[in-house]
Structure 1
Amino acid sequence: MATRYLYLARHGSADAFGELTDTGYKQADLLGERLAGLPVDAVWHSALPRAADSARQLARHLPQVPVAEAAELIDHVPYVPGKEEMPQAWAGFFDGFDEAEAASGERTAEALVARFTKAPERGEPDSHEVLVTHAYPIAWLVREALEAPPTRWLGLDSANTGLTVIEYRVGLSPTLVMFNDMSHLPGDLRWTGFRAADRP
Structure 2
Amino acid sequence: MRWVRCLLSATGLSLSPSTSWDWDWDARQKNSPSKATRYLLLVRHGQYDFSNGKLTPKGWEQAFATARRLKELNLPLQYIVGSSMPRAMETASAISSILESGVALLPTNELLREGAPYPDIPKRSSWKPPLSYHVDGARIEAAFRNYFHRAPPEQKKDSYEIIVCHANVIRYFVCRALQLPPEAWLRLSLKHASLSIICIRPDGRISLRALGDSGHLPPNLLTV
Report the TM-score, using the length of structure 2 for normalisation.
0.77
Query: Following the alignment from structure 1 to structure 2, what is the Cα–Cα distance between the partners of residues 28 and 94?
Result: 28
Q: Which stretches of structure 1, 4 residues or longer, exceed 4 Å deviation after superposition?
A: none
1:1-200 matched pairs, under 5 angstroms: 1-17=35-51, 18-36=53-71, 37-62=74-99, 63-67=101-105, 68-81=107-120, 86-87=121-122, 90-94=123-127, 97-98=129-130, 100-124=131-155, 125-190=157-222, 192-193=223-224
Deviation of the 1:158 alpha carbon: 0.8
State the one-letter code of the partner of 1:169: R
State the one-letter code of the partner of 1:21: T
In structure 2, runs of 5+ residues without a counterpart are: 1-34
Query: Following the alignment from structure 1 to structure 2, what is the Cα–Cα distance between the partners of residues 22 and 94?
Result: 29
Work out whether residues 43 and 193 of structure 2, in 8 Å CA contact, stay in contact via their aligned partners in 1. yes
1:29 to 1:172, Cα distance in 2 relative to 1, 3 A:
same
Query: Following the alignment from structure 2 to structure 1, what is the Cα–Cα distance between the partners of residues 50 and 141?
Result: 29
Query: Following the alignment from structure 2 to structure 1, what is the Cα–Cα distance between the partners of residues 221 and 124?
Result: 31
Deviation of the 1:129 alpha carbon: 0.9
Q: Name whichever of 134-143 and 14-23 sits farther off.
A: 14-23
Q: How large is the RMSD of aligned CA atoms in angstroms?
A: 1.5
Deviations 1:18-44 (A, max 9, x none): 110111111111111111122111111
Deviations 1:100-150 (A, max 9, x none): 332112211221111111110344132211111110010011101221112
**Rg (Cα) greater in structure:** 2
Deviations 1:70-111 (A, max 9, x none): 222100111125xxxx41xx331335x14x332112211221
Work out whether residues 150 and 204 of structure 2, in 8 Å CA contact, stay in contact via their aligned partners in 1. no
Work out whether residues 145 and 173 of structure 1, in 8 Å CA contact, stay in contact via their aligned partners in 2. no
Aligned residues: 184
Query: Following the alignment from structure 1 to structure 2, what is the Cα–Cα distance between the partners of residues 186 and 94?
Result: 31
Query: Following the alignment from structure 2 to structure 1, what is the Cα–Cα distance between the partners of residues 203 and 126?
Result: 37
State the one-letter code of the partner of 1:55: A
In structure 1, runs of 5+ residues without a counterpart are: 194-200
State the one-letter code of the partner of 1:52: M
State the one-letter code of the partner of 2:145: A
2:163 aligned counterpart, secondary structure: strand
Report the TM-score, using the length of structure 1 for normalisation.
0.86
Work out whether residues 47 and 71 of structure 1, in 8 Å CA contact, stay in contact via their aligned partners in 2. yes
State the one-letter code of the partner of 2:40: L
Deviation of the 1:170 alpha carbon: 2.4
Query: Following the alignment from structure 2 to structure 1, what is the Cα–Cα distance between the partners of residues 136 and 144?
Result: 12
